[in-house]
Amino acid sequence: MLKINDLTVEVEDKIIINNLNLNIKEGEIHVLMGPNGTGKSTICKVLLHHPDYKITNGSIIFDNEDITNLDTASISKKGIFLLNQNPIEVEGVTNAELLRIALSEKTNTHINIFDFNKKLNEVCEIINLPKSFVHRDINFNMSGGEKKKNELLHIFMLEPKFIILDEIDSGLDIDALKIVGDSLAKYYAKYNPAILIVTHHSDILKYFDNYQVHIMKDGKIIKDGDNELVKEIETKGYRTTGVVNNE
Ligand SMILES: Nc1ncnc2c1ncn2[C@@H]1O[C@H](COP(=O)(O)OP(=O)(O)O)[C@@H](O)[C@H]1O
Ligand SMILES: [Mg+2]
């Protein structure tokens, strides 16, 4: 479904992603871990063609189509959703306004307002978000945890088939983590999307049965594994597992 081939990315003439390869098939869950500053968020943003980053080598293929140079809106319409590590606040545009336009653009049809509102209410129930959030400006003046749930609202409404979650679990209290985890598990069971999860902790992974793990360092994937590797890193850290050398 998604193939990243020999991808090299630069920002301000500095190489941040260095010849990275990753292959994610339909319905698969992949976990990206690694120390701070190794390029995890960069790869997430590059998949949506963030303009700050320059791809100097390699390609990104999605559903057999080369999307390396495609604009962000077109990539998103293909069904790729990025939940940013720090979700962007958009003052002056409400969730309902954006979602209605985005859905209509994506499906190329008129959105029936009755069905739309009904689904918004159902999703608010699932993710335990007050219904008033539907008419709030996107992520504006929301707490960290509220922003993550607000992004989940967008996921449930837009029904992406490939979801990138960049540290969705950071800054969540225990109850919020459970709601987010349960909601994601429900979404996965219903729509079977492919998911790329960037995380430092195993807590969010408990909501998924099967996943492949990749450890990143200096813009490269340097080790692959499964939940055993996550456990090892969680107890011993990156340095002592030999994944990352003592420097
Ligand atoms: N827009 C940018 N301008 C300059 N440097 C950047 C930019 N984005 C990322 N970087 C640098 O690239 C490296 C990787 O960042 P990032 O992808 O955010 O790491 P991670 O998510 O793994 O913690 C860091 O050294 C960071 O400072
Ligand atoms: Mg990051």
pLDDT for the residue numbered 244:
62
Q: Given phi > 0 = left and psi -120 to 50 = alpha, else beta, which region is 242?
A: left
Cβ–ligand 1 distance for 16 under 6 Å, the answer: yes
Q: Please tell me the least confidently modeled range out of 5-19, 116-130, 212-226, 227-241.
A: 227-241
End-to-end CA distance of the chain: 37
The per-residue pLDDT for range 90-130, each reduced to its tens digit, is 999 999 999 999 999 888 889 899 999 999 999 999 999 99
From the list 55, 61, 59, 49, the residue with the least C-alpha distance to 24 is 61
Round to whole Å and give the CA distance between 39 and 53. 11
Round to whole Å and give the CA distance between 236 and 238. 7
Tokens 């991808």 sit at which residue?
Answer: 7
Residue nearest to atom 25 of ligand 1 (CA): 37
The per-residue pLDDT for range 161-209, each reduced to its tens digit, is 999 999 999 989 999 999 999 999 999 999 999 999 999 999 999 999 9
Round to whole Å and give the CA distance between 247 and 235. 20
Write the CB contacts of 150 (distance below 8 Å, at least 6 apart in sequence).
87, 95, 129, 133, 136, 138, 139, 142
Helix (H, G, I), strand (E, B) or coil at 178: helix
Mutate to test the pocket of ligand 1, among 10, 12, 16, 199 (most ligand atoms within 8 A of CB): 16
Strands (E), 34-177: 54-62, 65-66, 80-83, 90-94, 137-138, 162-166
Q: Which atom of ligand 1 is the closest one to the Cα of 85?
A: 21
Answer whether residue 14 shows pLDDT above 90: yes
Check if the beta carbon of residue 95 is closer than 8 Å to that of residue 154: yes
Cβ–ligand 1 distance for 40 under 6 Å, the answer: yes
Q: Where are the domains of the chain?
A: 2-240
Which DSSP state fits 243?
Answer: S
Using the mean position of ligand 1's atoms as its centre, give its distance from the Cα of residue 181 in Å.
27
Mutate to test the pocket of ligand 1, among 32, 41, 83, 198 (most ligand atoms within 8 A of CB): 41
Q: How far is CA 115 from the centre of its chain?
A: 27
pLDDT for the residue numbered 106:
87
Answer whether residue 88 shows pLDDT above 60: yes
Cβ–ligand 1 distance for 11 under 6 Å, the answer: yes
The per-residue pLDDT for range 38-65, each reduced to its tens digit, is 999 999 999 999 999 999 999 999 999 9
pTM of the complete model: 0.94
Tokens 């504006």 sit at which residue?
Answer: 140
Q: Given phi > 0 = left and psi -120 to 50 = alpha, else beta, which region is 37?
A: left
Using the mean position of ligand 2's atoms as its centre, give its distance from the Cα of residue 190 in Å.
28
The first and second tokens of residue 33, run together, are 């871990």
pLDDT for the residue numbered 240:
60
For the domain made up of 2-240, the CATH class stated in words is alpha beta
Query: Hey, what amino acid is at 159?
Result: E
Using the mean position of ligand 1's atoms as its centre, give its distance from the Cα of residue 55 in Å.
14
